[in-house]
Structure formats: structure tokens, C-alpha cells
Structure 1
Amino acid sequence: MSAAPQAGGRAWLFNALATVVLWGIWGAFSGLSAGQGFPETLVYCVWALTMIPPALVMLAQRGWALDRGGAAIAQGLAVGLLGAGGQMLLFYAVTRGPPYLIFPVISLSPVVTIALSFLLIGERTGRLGAFGILLALLALPTFDFAPGGGGHGGAWLGLALLVMACWGLQAFFMKSANRIMSAESIFFYMMLSGLALIPVALAMTDFHRPIPLGLRGPGLAAAIQILNAIGALTLVFAFRYGKAIIVAPLANAGAPLATALISLVALGVMPGPVKAIGIGLALAASLLLAIEPDGQDADAAPAPAPADESTSLAA
């Protein structure tokens, strides 16, 4: 963890790219622990616990000042519950389908965020950003074009679409929450929401079947899920300093793209011509979104914080 540039600089970009890298690696290997026999419900529990260290570290940097107003609590919990619910669904999805197909479907979530940001917040972007968004939206459906992929079954698709909806809504509420509360408080409520659903996950766990312990079980899950937790934290700061209409496509589309590429390489699978075109479009979209000069959200009121206001994570 390190201090990012001031809010007027490129803090949003550093944090968004950090999310892309962390979530890209996490997504590619997210099914490993479940593949070793560790139940996906317990993987969720491990993920929720990995949220605790970064949440406490960031709140400590803010002097333990937690936003406790009614609106802050409501929006913080909305962000957390949508994220945690999506995570729980995702852990089931990756046991029923390949990550290189699931994550590109999830990457359609910026469509939900962009629509809500445009209609309800009135966010706009420059020409490069608009063109980048267009390319991203053109690229994303191509990743779902997978001839011969039917052998994986279709159960994962419905789960992936639900995760997409949850995370699209979460991104919108995350931006909205950043207007009235600190990023540290948002992440703290995300952590609380994740922990609150642990009893549900435990109740859904089949403890009658053998469960691996040690490095093959919770150890492997923790090593993978900590990437998710830190990536969620950098995403909070990306939305704090950047426009949702820019950050959502860059982070939420870039990370699944990275996951798809890593998964394809790890599996030794070569994408067909349609997916190759999609990869090219997505890379171009990410570049345009990254160099868009109007990325920072100048209109957003800074969240209340003490003198250490500018502290954030940087890649």
C-alpha cells in the first residue's frame, strides 16, 4: 500500500489499473480451491475474512473516523451486499463453467453502471472516453461467442448474468456513496456486509463430504481471495476520484479481459477469430479509457475526511 497522487491528478487511473491486474489474476485462479474439493460456500467465507485486514488498515489511516449517518450506512451496506451477493453467486458459477467464458459475461456490468450514471447523476465524458466505451460495449459480446463451448453446460450463464447485474448496480451505488462518505468507510461497510452473509454460506455448506484443510483448502483460498479483497479496495478509490462512466468500463471490463487472457494461456486454448477481434477491441477500449483527459470527477464533492484525505492505494 502506498499513497496515490492527489485527487486532482491520476489517482483514479492508478487505482483502476491496480484493480484490473489484481482481479484479472484472481479471476483466472478463482476456481482452483473449489477444484481441490474446498466447498465454494467456504471459499466465500474465506473471501469475507480477507476483507478484514485492508478494511482495518485503511480505517486506521483515517484515524478510525467512520461515517455513521443514516444515508452513509444505507449506501455503504447497499454497496457491500450487492458485492457480497455477487461474490457468492460467482463462486458457484466458476465451479460450473470456465472462467474465460464467465468473466467476459460479467464484464457487461458497466452497461448497467453507465446507464444509471447517465440518467441519474448526469455524468458525461469526452470524445476519447465515449469512443472507448463504444469499443468496450462492442467487444464484450464477442467473448460470449464460443462455438463448442456447450459442453460446459448452461447453468453458469444465468449465474454470470446475475453477478453482472449485482456488480453493475454496486458500481453505481459505490460512486453515489463516494459523494457523501469516505472511501475508507465504504470499504468498511463492504467488509461488514461480507461477514454478515457468512452464516448463510455456512448453512449452505455440506459438511458431510470430505473438506480439505491446510494449504489445499483454506490456505489456497486465502492466497487467491486476498487479491480480490485488495482489488475491491483499489476500485473504491478509483470511483472516488474518477467518473463512474469511465472507471466502470476500464475496471469492470478490463479485469475480466485479463482473466480471459490468463485463463486461455493457462489452458493452452487459442481463441477463434471472433474472440480475437473482441480482444483487440477491448485492448483499444482500455487504452482510450486510460488516456481520456477528462477522467477525474471534478464535479463530485470530496468526501469528508481529516488531513489525510488524499491517502489511497496506487498501483
Structure 2
Amino acid sequence: MDHSLLERGLAVISACRHTTGDIWEAHFGAAAIAAYYFVRDNGISGSLAETIEAQAHRMVAGHLKDGQDGSSRRDGASCEMKLQFAEQMIVEALDETIDELQWVGHNVIYAALSLKAMRELGGWGTEAEVGGIADLIRAFKGKIPGRSWIGFTASEVKRLPVEALRAAKPVENGRELSKLVLRELAAFRTIYRAEAHHDLIGHMLTFSHSLALLDELGCKRLFDRGLTPLFKLIAVLRTTRDLAPGDPIRLVSPVDSAPLAPASPSPWLPTEPAYWERDRTQDDWDFGHAFKFPFSFYAHVNSAGGADEAACRNFRLIL
């Protein structure tokens, strides 16, 4: 496959803090990297692969700055950092932020996808460009766990004790984590179309998958430490598994409002051409999720050796 999606994804992640002063533009760079691996790792080829790649390029192009394509130093020029030192910069930055749940794990998502892409490319970027990624990850320090919750405020989520939950479900590696997360996904009786519900469930998939990637990349210590903030997210979501339509809820969100509407299942899966016929350009943010959620779900399924019918059914509800 063409590596340009990886290069452009890294460029958007790297430039995020400098160009916007915020942490969210990197979402689209991460989505471009996710699109590359979704196609490659699931054996997608032919016209379907071309369609997915074209959509990913269309999405990320809107977030590249003038003259930026991410590939200017892929000629082995001396100004490109050696992979070992580039990885070290990102790992050290993540070491400072991984112990708390911050914006539903996006610090880990950005770091893990950047490390995976750089490893695939054999190196990427100047010291300043890699430093941009490290600065972005450090910018999560002290941030809130997320802004939309059912049954909890952000401060209550921060204080959640999860030691007993971790002890009851010891997780030693990425494969075990994939199995656990798929069981969690399967357990929901109803999923609501809301940032406080379907979106959090989607990020349970992407956050946990990013931890599994860290384990795959040899960052076992970061994997182990990242389980505590992940289990906080899982603990909150467990309290919402059995919410029936019309049940009274405590909704804490600046964007969601009660009553929440049950999510409708996608009639198509991301491995089917019809899924990619929908025009997602009008909802830029969800355009990114169209790549990230499938990449993580299918990676968990492949790692776990399959998923049961309930997990697959509920996956359709977060698409």
C-alpha cells in the first residue's frame, strides 16, 4: 500500500498544537493512519480498498496546511530523526500523561498510532516535527476525563476506584485485553446515539486498542499503566448497560440532551462497499470515526480470534 496516508496522518498530528493551539485536529491524522491499517490488516483489496483510501485522503486533505504532505523527508535525508530517538521522545511524553483518564484516552490513541506509523515507515520527521507530537501528548496533562457522561460528573470519574475491577479481570497482554473489551461491547442491551454513550463505547474500543498497540510495539510498562484509566471508562459504561428507553438518567453533557434516542444499527459493515457510499463530508468529526472505530473493532476481533453475535450487533450501533 501507498504510505502517503501514514505520512500525512503524522504531519497532521505533529502540526496540531502549533497550528490550532488545541488537541483535536490530530483526530484526523489518527484517522488517516487508522484507514491505512484497516485496509491492510483486513485483506481489503481492489475497488473497495481504492474507495476507502480515496475517502481517507479526502478527509485528511482538509486538515493539511499549505505545502504540507508529510513526505518531504522520506528520502533518508540527515535532518530526519533516527527512529529510536523519535520513538523515545514520544514514549517519554506519554510516560507523563498515561496514568490518568484524559479526554477518553486520546493521548494514548495519538501516541500509539504515531509510534506504529513511524515504525512502519522506518522513521519519520525532523526533531521539531516529532517534538510536535510529543508536545501534543504532554498537552493532555491535567485535562478532564471527558465532557459527556451518564451518571457521573467528570470529577467523579477521576475519583473512581478501579483496583477491585482490575483485580477481578487481570489483563496481561493485548490479546487478553481484546477479549475483555469485546465482552464489554456485547453486554449492552441498548446503545443510545449520544456522545455520552455510543461515542464513549467507540472510544472504549479505540483507547483499549491503542494500549494493545503499545504492548505489540514493546511498551509493556505503558500498557500496564494505561489499564487503570481504561478501567475507569469501562466502570462508567458498565453502569449504563441495562438502561431502558424512558428510564430516568443523570446526564452530564454540554451537547447531549434527554431523552436520549436509541442508536439505529448500520445496515452495512465497513468491510462492505455500501458502507463507504455514504457522503460523510458534512460531518467532519464523524468522518474520522468512520475509519477509527472499524480499525479498532476489527483489530480486537482478529486478536481475540473472533467475536460473538452480540458484539457484532452492538458494533453496528456505534457506526
- TM tier relative to shorter chain: under 0.3
User: Given the two structures, how large is their TM-score scaled by the length of structure 2?
Assistant: 0.28
- Which structure is higher in helix share? 1
